[in-house]
Structures are given as structure tokens and as C-alpha cells.
Amino acid sequence: MNGIRRLVLQNVRPRTLCAHYSARAAPQRPKQTRLSAQSNLGPSAMSAHQVFAPLTKGCPVFKISQPITVLREPQQFYKQLIHGIKHAQRHICLSSLYIGSEETELVAELKNALARNTKLQVRVLLDCLRGTRTDSAGMSSAALLAPLVQQFGEERVQVFMYHTPALSGLSKQAWPQRYNETFGLQHIKAYIFDDDVIISGANLSRDYFTNRQDRYMRISDPQFSDYFVRLVSTIGQFSFRVLNGDQATGYKLEMADGVADPTRDPREFVREANELMVQFLHRAEIEHAVEAGSISEHDTLAIPTVQMRQLGITQDESHMR
């Protein structure tokens, strides 16, 4: 599975040790940092600062100055999404497993926002296998979004579909839609509106907006937001692009020129995608490095880790050791 597997939020106060977040499930704490929240951290005990300082190595670190908002209900999550779309001035970036084929209201809000503000840019990253799966009416996430690309152009609307390299050739033709997802998925759930980022485990579909409870946190920070926008853009470089075209499906998929097709040449695809991701992560680590000695006991840190094992990217595993 590919995605932001863990976001470590560290508020380094004597009794507030660490809050872990995962887009799929809450990971176990590393053994070396297993301290009880009820522990009495006296002068002789190891401080939270000392415990979590090693997590700042090898990953970008963001000092968050604004309060982090925890959303409580699916309906609140949906309202925040709509609010973000309506008020974004520069960019909207949505990364999810899929967008429900029934979410015409959400797409209509995107269309209205693009029409109101000619400077607004929209990027959407979905999983290709799930994003092209059709419902009983033949509709899919790709078909739902393709008209936005046609109306506003790729200069303003980019829809990316990441395709796993583990499913190619005859295997891709043999496995039915509902089962081919077992080979690997794009699983990042991050929704960015200018400087605001909503990190969640929820997809963009009706059940997640009404009665399917998940986790949602809103973080306001321009550098943190920019990291996710650039992450999505980097993955987009080795993903299929959704274009308006085929009359039967309502869209067509194209890879960028010079990028290997994961369904035809998975080995070359993995090599190229790994190179792009390593460059991005290395640059992010350098740009957002934090010296351990510069962390105060009152800082809140956000440390995103990326797990894309099929591409040789295993930051989450490294942090869990």
C-alpha cells in the first residue's frame, strides 16, 4: 500500500508525550519510546524532548504554530471540505483512494470555484484501479472529473491516477475490477486548501460524509501545506493523467512523455518512480531539517513519513524500528 502511513504530532511538554496518526490504522509505538502517559517525568526521568528527538532525523520536520483542529464527525468533515473549496484562493489539492461516483455536488463546487477564480489551480490524486472502477451506471471517479479538465484545461486542473507496478500484462487483464486492488493502492488521504491541510483516513464518498466515522485533523501551516502539494505533484509525474476523450468511458488515460507505463514496463517504472521520490524526499529533508537542540519543550512538530514499498520507499518502517 502506498501513502502517508503516519503523521507524528509531537507536543514536547513533560506530560504530553506524543500523538500518532495513520491514514489506515494507528501504528504501534516504537519500543524505545513506550512511556505511559501517567508516568511521572521528574528531573531524573528522560524528557519527552529526549525521547522523540530521534524521530526528527531522516524526515522533514515542521514546527506548527497554529492550534491543530480535530474534527469530530463525518458531517463536519464534509462541511470543512466544501468550505475549503469555496474559500481557496491559490490551490486545491485532493489526494484520496477515490471519489465516489455519486459526488456530483463536490465536483460542482470545484467547478464553481474554478469559474469564480481564474488563478485557482486544482490537483487531484487518486488510485488508478479504484478511480476507474465503474458503478452500476458505468460512472467512475475518472469520468466524474474529466469534464473539469476539458473545461478549464490541464494548466489549471490536473487529475492523476497512480497505478501499481505489481499489476501488469496478462495479470491486469485477468483480474476483475473488484479484486485487482489487492495488488497495491495509492492510499494518501490529504486535502489541501491554500495553507490548510486536512489529514484523514476518509475517502471522498457519501458514506464517509454521513455515517462512516474516521479520523480528521486540520493543520494550518504554509510550509506543511506546500510539502503535500509537492508530494502530490511528484507522484503525479509518474501517474496516469485523466483527459477528456473516450466516448465509452468519458475519459482517457495518458502517461507523461518519457515515463514508463507501469502496466507494460513495471521494472523501468519502479526505477524512474523511485528516483523521483528519492529526490523529492531528500530535498524535503534538507529544506525542513530541524536541529535537535533547537526544539523547545513547547514546540509542536509534524513529521510526515511516506511508505511506498513497491517503489523502495520505506520511511514508515524505518521510523518504527
In this structure, the chain runs to a length of: 321
Supply the pLDDT for residue 310: 87
Does 306 have pLDDT greater than 80?
yes
Is the model's pTM score more than 0.85? no
What residues contact 40, with CB distance under 8 A and at least 6 apart? none
User: Which string of DSSP letters, residue by residue, matches 169-226?
Assistant: HHHHHHS-HHHHGGG--B---EEEETTEEEEES--BSHHHHHT----EEEEE-HHHHH
Please state the rounded mean pLDDT for residues 151-173.
82
Average pLDDT, the chain: 82
CA–chain centroid gap for 227, Å, is 10
180 pLDDT band (50/70/90 cuts)?
A: very low
- What cell was used for 146? 474529466
- List residues with catalytic annotation: 187, 189, 194
How far apart CA 3 and CA 201 sit, in angstroms, is 11
Supply the pLDDT for residue 172: 52
Query: Which pLDDT tens digit goes with each residue over 52-86?
Result: 777 788 889 999 999 999 999 999 999 999 999 99
Which of 263, 314, 78 is CA-nearest to residue 161?
263
Please state the rounded mean pLDDT for residues 294-302.
82
Supply the pLDDT for residue 27: 38
